[in-house]
């Protein structure tokens, strides 16, 4: 069935969030991220870490302000942890 535009958008958003957090916040690649599940979901925790760093509202959700920052061109060095 053709993917509905909303589902396509959500997939792209998840992809953007996932790669940003993997590149700059040490989200492990093998974790199956889900934006919706409750509990200590690693992607939600990392999202909160990124939002705290940038002084955004720490919601754990990919809101507009968060996605706007994720779309900005930037340095490839992670914002947290070792880089060598």
User: Contact positions toward another protein, by CB under 8 A?
Assistant: 23-24, 53-55, 69, 72-77, 79, 81-84
Chain centroid offset of residue 32 CA: 13
CB of 37 to another protein, least distance (A): 28
With respect to another protein, which residue has the nearer C-beta, 35 or 53? Answer: 53
With respect to another protein, which residue has the nearer C-beta, 1 or 77? Answer: 77
CB of 48 to another protein, least distance (A): 14
CA distances from 49 to 5, 6, 20 (A): 29, 27, 12
Q: How far apart are the first and last CA of the chain?
A: 45
């Amino acid at each position: 069935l053709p993917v509905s535009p909303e589902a396509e958008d959500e997939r792209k958003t998840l992809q953007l969030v996932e790669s940003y957090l993997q590149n700059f916040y040490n989200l492990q690649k093998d974790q199956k991220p889900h934006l919706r599940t409750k509990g200590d979901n690693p992607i939600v925790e990392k999202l909160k870490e990124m939002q705290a760093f940038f002084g955004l509202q720490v919601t754990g959700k990919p809101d507009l302000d968060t996605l706007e920052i994720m779309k900005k061109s930037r340095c490839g060095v992670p914002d947290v942890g070792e880089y060598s």
